[in-house]
Structure 1
Amino acid sequence: MPKVQKPRAPRAQTSTEQKRTRAARVEQEGVEMDFRCKRCEEKKLRCFVETSSGRCAGCISVGAECSLFVSEKEWEEVQAECERKELELAQAEERQALAAAESSRLRRELLEVKNKKRGFARRDLAIIAVQDRAKEQAEGSSAPGGTSLPVVEPSLSESSADLGGLQADFYDPSFDYLSLDFFLSYENPVLVSVDASDGTHVLDFFDYVLVVFEFDVFC
């Protein structure tokens, strides 16, 4: 009897063929991503992701590690960076708070100094006002009163008319009535009087009238 040949079993695919077949299926059934993995980015390939594994078709076809999913190392690095920045921000905020507190303290102290300065100014102005009032009072007390009567001196004509009769009784040709020494002599107490305020010798009113009369007659 002739031998019956058994059908040969299909040849098993190599790993490379399996990867290519899987990659082709992913390209047909997978989802194209808006972003690409590093390999597809470098090769400028379209990046189709296998939803079950999270790898793209290009990386599956060559057996490369796909970077669509962020690696654990990258996660750890970014987490450490985040924590470092949070710490730096907290330190900066603390410094800012301390600076604000220092500014508030300096502003308060400045206001206190300004209030003290205004107090000094008010005190000096009060003292100056007291001094001005005292000066005004002193000047007012030393000024002559406004109610004193004016001194009226007799005119030469009136003196000549009123004392015409006295000339004959009191006139003595032997005396020089025009001599000032006669009227200012200390030896004649009748014609000389002493001013109590400064001790100077002045003529009495009668003597003054007589002198005016003599000047009017002989000059």
Structure 2
Amino acid sequence: MKKNMRRFAVVAGAAAAAFGLTAAPASAVPSTTWTVTPSGSYTATNSGNIVLTATIPMTCTTSGASGTMASATGNPATVAAINAINFGTSASPCTSVLGNVTTVAVTPWTVVAQDYTAATGVTKGYVGNVKANVTAGACKFTVTGKASATYTNSTGILAVSSVSGDLAVSSSPAPVNCGSVVTTATKPIFKGNYAIKASNGTIPKIVGTNP
């Protein structure tokens, strides 16, 4: 009887310990400190073509952006605002099989940092708060969401490479004159590289550290 009682006590103690481990709250992940140098205004110019694919590819050979960058704390954290971004010009419009493409961005967009690799100087995150009104020929639709991206300190390249599901075609307003080519079920893809320069002409650096 005493032997059985000892076994019961051991089992009960192990169960209590296991319950204690599972019930204890997980320790909080330290907030990342993002240091941006220099902070302040910046400009961005496309490096290579910018492509928005919504069933069909729409290609821009010219694109630029401007805004401000600043240090931040958190994960994720907004390290830059895109206050203006253009796609194509009257002399070099974006094109598609439906005809020339006009894209009007509804800004501000954001650049959000999530992960930093010190060995490569690469920050992973996304371009957020994306909203743009697109006209391709007679087809008109609105794209919303975010676009996965990386930023590399050594080159100053913000590489935008969204994945399926990052962006969506808005139902309000719904696509107009697009037929089955672009619908609210379409999952747009946004890809392209932008070279970033601070107002003093240098390449900004983004560094993430944990306390």
Same fold (TM over 0.5): no
TM-score class, shorter: under 0.3
Structure ID, larger Rg: 1
TM-score scaled to structure 1, two decimals? 0.21
> Which structure ranks higher in relative contact order (CA pairs < 8 Å, sequence separation ≥ 6)?
2
